[in-house]
Amino acid sequence: MSLTTTVIGSFPRLHENLKKSIRLVVDLQVNIGIDIISDGEQRADMLSYMSNSMYGLSKANEKIFITGKIKPIKEITTSFKVVDFLEAKSYVKEKGYENKLKVGITGPVTLGFSAAINNLGPYKSLRDKELYNDVAVVVNKIARQIQFYDGLVQIDEPGVSAGFLSPDLVEEPLNIATEGLDPKMTSIHACGRINSNVLKALGKIRNTSVLSLEFAGSSSNIDVLSKNLSSISSKTIGVGCMKVNVLSQEDLTSIESSINIIKDVFSTVGPNKIAYVHPDCGLRKTSIELATTILKNLKEVSSRTKL
C-alpha cells in the first residue's frame, strides 16, 4: 500500500485569471496522483492572503502592518482563504475528483510577528501575547469555517521554527487557533530546523493530529525527533522528504534519498506514526517545471517505499 501524498499548499501562479489558475493547479495535482491536494494559494503570498480576514491589518507596498486592534471580520466566509477553498472545492466536485482538499492558514505567530515588525499599532511589543492571541482568534474562525465545509486545515508556522517567539510563548496562541477543531482534520506545519523546545511546544498543541516537518533540507530534525518522542506521542508525522529551494534538476532530492529519509523517520517514530509524505515546504518560489517534477517524484517515492 502506497504512502499518502500531500502538498504543503502553495504553487507558482499558473494563470492571470484567478479562477482558472485554481482549476489548473487542482488538475495538476490530481493528474499526478497527489492524494490530499490544495487550492495552490494562487491569490497571494501567505501573509498578504490573510489581509482581508481581519480588522486592524493592512497591506501596502507588498508589506503587511498593524493599524489597530486585530479582530475578525464580521463575515468570515468572505475571507480570501475561504473563498478560494470553496472555488477549489466546487471544481473538485464538478470534475468528480475524490481527492481530499487541504487549506494552509498562516499561523498567529508567523502572521502576528511579520505584521508587527513593520508597525506595532496598539500593541506594546513584539512579545505582547495579546497580539498573538488576537490573531489566533481570526485564524480559528477561518479554520472552523473551512472544517464546516469539510476541508482539512493546516496551520502554517514557519515563524515558530525560525524563533520569532520563544517556545514557551507559542503554546497559548496556537491552542487558541486550534480551539474546537477536529483533530483528525487539523495539522501544523513548521518548516526549517527545529530544536527540542520547539518540538515539545508543538507537541502540546491541542486538537491537532499531525506535525508536518522538514527533513530533506534539515536532516538534524530526525535526531531532534528521536530524542523527544514522548513529547509528541499523541501526534503523527508529516514527512517533508524533498527540498523545494531548488533552481535546477540537479538540485532536486533524489528518489533514493527521499525513500531513505522516510525510512529513517519510520525507524524513529515507529509503525502507524507517519501520516503522509510531502515536499519540505510550499512550492510558490519554485518554477512550475521543477514543482511538477517534485510532485511526480513524490508519487513515485510513495509507491516505492516499503515500510
125: CATH: 3.20.20.210
**115-128, pLDDT tens digit by residue?**
999 999 999 999 99
User: In sequence order, which residues have a C-beta less than 8 Å from that of residue 81 and are 6 or more positions away?
Assistant: 49, 50, 53, 103, 105, 142, 146
Residue 17: pLDDT over 90: yes
What is the Cα–Cα distance from 176 to 205, expressed in whole angstroms?
Answer: 9
Q: What is the dihedral of CA 122, 124, 129, 134, to 10 degrees?
A: 0
Is residue 138 a part of any domain in this protein? yes
Q: Based on the structure, what is the number of domains in the chain?
A: 1
Report strand pairing: 100-106 vs 63-72: unpaired
**46-55, pLDDT tens digit by residue?**
999 999 999 9
* CB 139, CB 149: distance < 8 Å: no
Is residue 4 a part of any domain in this protein? no
Structural domain that includes position 171: 18-304
Residue 1: pLDDT over 90: no
Is residue 246 a part of any domain in this protein? yes
Mean pLDDT, the chain, rounded, equals 97
Q: Is 294 exposed, middle or buried (0-12, 13-18, 19+ CB in 10 A)?
A: buried
User: In sequence order, which residues have a C-beta less than 8 Å from that of residue 163 and are 6 or more positions away?
Assistant: none
Q: Residue 53: which of 42, 64, 62 has the closest Cα?
A: 64
Strand order across the beta sheet in which 274-279 lies = 36-37, 100-106, 152-156, 186-190, 210-214, 236-242, 274-279
Residue 28: pLDDT over 90: yes
Is residue 6 a part of any domain in this protein? no
Opening angle at CA 271, ends 270 and 277, nearest 5 = 90
* CB 215, CB 221: distance < 8 Å: yes
Is residue 207 a part of any domain in this protein? yes
Residue 164: pLDDT over 80: yes
Task: Give the DSSP letter string of 150-211.
Answer: T-EEEEE-HHHHTTSS-HHHHHHHHHHHTTT--GGGEEEEE-S---HHHHHHHHT-TT--EE
At position 41, the amino acid (one-letter code) is E
Q: Give Rg (Cα) of the chain.
A: 18
Mean pLDDT calculated for residue range 197-226 = 97
- The pLDDT score that the predictor gives to residue 2 is 85
**HSE of 201 in the Cβ direction (CA atoms, 13 Å)?**
22
The pTM (predicted TM-score) of the whole model is: 0.96
**HSE of 173 in the Cβ direction (CA atoms, 13 Å)?**
30
**Grid cell at residue 59:** 497591506
* CB 111, CB 79: distance < 8 Å: no
Is residue 3 a part of any domain in this protein? no
Mean pLDDT calculated for residue range 257-267 = 97
Query: Which residues, listed in sequence order, are joined to residue 106 by a DSSP beta bridge?
Result: 156
Residue 187: pLDDT over 70: yes
Query: Which residues, listed in sequence order, are joined to residue 66 by a DSSP beta bridge?
Result: 57
**90-148, pLDDT tens digit by residue?**
999 999 999 999 999 999 999 999 999 999 999 999 999 999 999 999 999 999 999 99
Q: Residue 110: which of 200, 152, 50 has the closest Cα?
A: 50
